[in-house]
């Protein structure tokens, strides 16, 4: 066989190289003439399409209908169906092949569908439709405007909203028409919302057809209006008054010095003057009590008469004077009464202090302390209402001027009669006796072994300069003396200790001189017999009363009762030997050879 044996590929088919059959059907969107090797050689002409296979020439491709366009096809994108013009556009012509053949919807119309061939839907009332509009309500007239037309192309063509009405988005005439102005508001030309223009504070309106602020009603006296409301906001509260046009309840408070307990007042003259015993600060509903310790005589009295200038604040309340007391709401200070006093600014009186007297009903603290002192020598208990009630200072005590208590006479002194005015009126205790604090007489006699002097320098205070004894053992009799009687008045009263006895300090009786010692007159302690002597008896009086150490014996230390021992062998001990082997030739010596 040879190439001349190959048959030509028939029309409506295409035969790839090496085909053994009469070819393949020409694909949709294309047409195939005879002898075609490829099925994608001849696309349907622009403006046509084909969904069928096996076309022979371009005239068999279907013309593109109006409302669509049919672009030139390719192997990758064959034109097998027309392409719809999108919403917002239309195409009145058939056999078009480009997207630009879809014309934007005409101004004043909307094109909501695919495949539209003309602009047939008019714009909706309250809206405008520029070129290419998809929906009839796509572009609403802005707030403050409206339209009843259905062919607007721009927002500028929307009409201004009429006075006394407001227009929201998309306001029309038969559809969503302009709405009456809201209560409490007014609506000038082009009002965009119901609450855009509230009646100003101090005004209100119950109408819905106002076009300007001046048409709003002035707020009624006795009420206040915060604005933007259909009626008065509320009645004026107590403490305040509300004239015509009041915007807020707190705009007009009753001034200081007045009060108002009533709702609905409208002028300052209706505020009431503050009452006596009280003060009235700004905008109070009732008078406030003047605090304790103060009073207020000015203001309206119980007969509704105005006395003086009412108090405008707590600082206006007057300080209660000394000698008086003032509880809360006091109009005039109350007298303390006799026997009592007070300093300024008090709510109660105090009992007159001890040491003073309060003899009038209005005694102040200053008057009491400076002019009402109890006289020296007298004692005034607390609460005393007259100096005549003062008592004489008690015995054993003294009372300086205004003393709050009777003072005890100091130790070493006494006061035997009433009426002592000073510590110097306390007398020194008599010699031989002692006086404790507050003594009315001597407390007791001085003890044996001691003496109790008087009129010696006061060791405790500058006054009195001298005092007497203040203890039963005031001063001990010194060593070498004794006192075997009570009430010794001075040092010379102490008795001299006799020979053969000794007397330590504060001795009541002499003590026997012990063995081994001797006691001369006025001995405070025994004197030991010296070495070389001994004492084997009591009551020795002198040194010579101590025995010389016996011959043959020695006495080597003081205070021996007997000789120590015999002398050492080979020694002779004479009288008074102080060692066991004396060699002085007086008290002893070595035995001769």
Does residue 327 belong to any structural domain of this protein?
A: no
For tokens 């230390």, the residue is: 557
- The pairing of beta strand 83-84 with beta strand 89-90: unpaired
The answer as to whether 85 is a domain residue is: yes
Under a CB-based contact definition with an 8 Å cutoff, are residues 236 and 264 in contact? yes
Q: Does the pTM of the predicted model rise above 0.85?
A: no
Residue 288 domain-assigned (yes or no): no
The pLDDT assigned to 592 comes to 86
Helices (H) and strands (E) in the chain, counts: 1, 54
- CA dihedral over 287, 291, 292, 297, signed as positive or negative: negative
- Rounded Cα gap, residues 218 and 314, in angstroms: 38
Predicted local distance difference test score (pLDDT) of residue 179: 97
Residue 47 lies in a domain: yes
Torsion angle of alpha carbons 240, 243, 249, 255, nearest 10°? -30
Q: Strand locations in 437-507, DSSP E?
A: 444-445, 450-451, 456-457, 466-467, 475-476, 481-482, 495-496, 501-502
In a domain, 560, yes or no: no
Per-residue confidence (pLDDT) for residue 2, from 0 to 100:
61
What pLDDT score was predicted for residue 20? 78
Say if residues 323 and 313 touch (Cβ distance below 8 Å).
no
CA dihedral 122, 128, 132, 137 (to 10 degrees): -70
Residues facing residue 566 across a β-bridge: 553
Query: Which range of residues forms the domain containing residue 97?
Result: 1-104
Report, in angstroms and rounded to the nearest whole number, the Rg of the chain calculated over CA atoms. 70
Asked whether the beta carbons of 520 and 499 are under 8 A apart, the reply is yes
Whole-angstrom distance, CA of residue 216 vs CA of residue 146: 26
Query: Does any domain span residue 1?
Result: yes
- How many CB atoms are located within 10 Å of the residue 96 CB? 25
- Give the span between the Cα atoms of 186 and 209, in whole angstroms: 7
CA 533 to CA 576: how far, in whole Å?
6
Non-local (6+) Cβ contacts of 261 within 8 A are 238, 272, 285, 286
pLDDT one digit per residue (tens) for the chain, 593 residues:
566 678 899 999 999 987 878 889 999 999 999 999 899 999 999 999 999 999 999 999 999 999 999 999 999 999 999 999 999 999 999 999 999 999 999 999 999 999 999 998 999 999 999 999 999 999 999 999 999 999 999 999 999 999 999 999 999 999 999 999 999 999 999 999 999 999 999 999 999 999 999 999 999 999 999 999 999 999 999 999 999 999 999 999 999 999 999 999 999 999 999 999 999 999 999 999 999 999 999 999 999 999 999 999 999 999 999 999 999 999 999 999 999 999 999 999 999 999 999 999 999 999 999 999 999 999 999 999 999 999 999 999 999 999 999 999 999 999 999 999 999 999 999 999 999 999 999 999 999 999 999 999 999 999 999 999 999 999 999 999 999 999 999 999 999 999 999 999 999 999 999 999 999 999 999 999 999 999 999 999 999 999 999 999 999 999 999 999 999 999 999 999 999 999 998 999 999 87
Cβ neighbors of 357 (< 8 A, separation 6 or more) are: 372, 374, 380, 384, 385, 386, 387, 389, 390
Counting the structural domains of the chain, the total is 1
Domain assignment of residue 26, yes or no:
yes
Separation between Cα atoms, residue 97 and residue 63, nearest integer Å? 10
Which of 433, 393, 394, 399 minimizes the C-alpha distance to 413?
Answer: 433
The pair phi, psi for residue 48, each rounded to 5°, is: -130, 170
What's the confidence (pLDDT) of residue 6? 85
| pLDDT value at residue 112 | 97
Q: 3-state class of 451 per DSSP?
A: strand
**What is the per-residue pLDDT for 3?**
61
Classify residue 38: in a domain, yes or no: yes
What are the structure tokens assigned to 344, written together?
């300024």
Torsion of CA 29, 31, 35, 38, to 10 degrees: -10
């Amino acid at each position: 066989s040879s190439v001349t044996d190959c048959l030509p590929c028939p029309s409506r088919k295409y035969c790839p190289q090496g085909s053994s059959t009469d070819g393949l059907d020409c694909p949709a969107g294309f047409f195939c003439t005879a002898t075609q090797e490829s099925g994608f050689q001849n696309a349907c002409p622009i403006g046509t399409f084909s969904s069928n296979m096996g076309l022979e020439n371009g005239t068999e491709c279907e013309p593109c209908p109006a409302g669509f366009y049919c672009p030139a096809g390719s192997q990758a994108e064959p034109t097998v169906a027309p392409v719809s013009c999108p919403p917002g556009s239309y195409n009145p012509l058939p056999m078009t092949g480009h997207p630009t053949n879809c014309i934007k919807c005409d101004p004043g119309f909307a094109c909501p569908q695919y495949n539209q061939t003309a602009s047939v839907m008019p714009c909706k009332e309250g809206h405008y439709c520029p070129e290419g509009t998809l929906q009839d309500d796509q572009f609403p007239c802005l707030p403050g405007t409206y339209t009843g037309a259905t062919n607007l192309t721009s927002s500028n063509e929307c009409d201004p909203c009429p006075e006394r009405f407001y227009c929201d988005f998309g306001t029309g005439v038969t559809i969503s028409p302009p709405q009456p102005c809201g209560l409490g508001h007014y609506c000038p030309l082009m009002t965009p919302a119901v609450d855009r223009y509230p009646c100003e504070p101090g005004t209100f309106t119950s109408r819905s057809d106002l076009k300007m602020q001046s048409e709003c009603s002035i707020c009624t006296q006795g009420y206040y209006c915060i604005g933007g409301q259909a009626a008065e906001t509320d009645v004026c509260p107590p403490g305040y008054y509300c004239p015509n046009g009041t915007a807020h309840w707190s705009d007009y408070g009753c001034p200081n010095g007045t009060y108002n307990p009533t709702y609905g007042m409208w002028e300052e003259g209706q505020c009431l003057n503050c009452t006596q015993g009280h003060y009235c600060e700004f905008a109070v509903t009732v008078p406030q009590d003047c605090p304790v310790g103060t009073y207020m005589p000015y203001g309206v009295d119980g007969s509704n008469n105005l006395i003086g200038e009412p108090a405008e604040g707590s600082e206006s309340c007057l300080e209660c004077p000394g000698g008086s007391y003032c509880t809360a709401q006091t109009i005039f200070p109350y007298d303390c009464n006799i026997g009592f006093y007070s300093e300024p600014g008090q709510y109660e009186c105090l009992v007159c202090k001890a040491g003073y007297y309060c003899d009038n009903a209005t005694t102040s603290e200053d008057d009491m302390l400076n002019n009402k002192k109890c006289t020296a020598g007298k004692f005034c208990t607390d609460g005393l209402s007259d100096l005549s009630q003062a008592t004489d200072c008690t015995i054993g005590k003294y009372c300086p001027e205004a003393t709050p208590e009777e003072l005890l006479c100091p130790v070493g002194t006494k006061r035997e009669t009433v009426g002592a005015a000073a510590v110097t009126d306390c007398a020194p205790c008599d010699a031989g006796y002692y006086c404790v604090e507050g003594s009315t007489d001597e407390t007791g006699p001085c003890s044996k072994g001691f003496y109790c002097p008087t009129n010696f320098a006061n060791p405790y205070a500058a006054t009195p300069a001298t005092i007497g004894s203040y203890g039963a053992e005031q001063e001990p009799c010194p060593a070498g003396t004794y006192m075997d009687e009570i009430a010794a008045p001075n040092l010379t009263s102490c008795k001299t200790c006799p020979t053969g006895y000794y007397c330590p300090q504060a001795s009541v009786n002499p003590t026997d001189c012990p063995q081994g010692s001797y006691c001369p007159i006025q001995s405070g302690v025994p004197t030991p017999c010296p070495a070389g002597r001994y004492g084997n008896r009591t009551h020795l009086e002198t040194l010579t009363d101590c025995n010389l150490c016996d011959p043959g014996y020695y006495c080597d230390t003081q205070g021996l009762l007997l000789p120590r021992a015999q002398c050492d062998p080979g020694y002779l001990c004479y009288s008074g030997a102080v060692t066991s082997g004396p060699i002085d030739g007086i008290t002893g010596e070595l035995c001769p050879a």
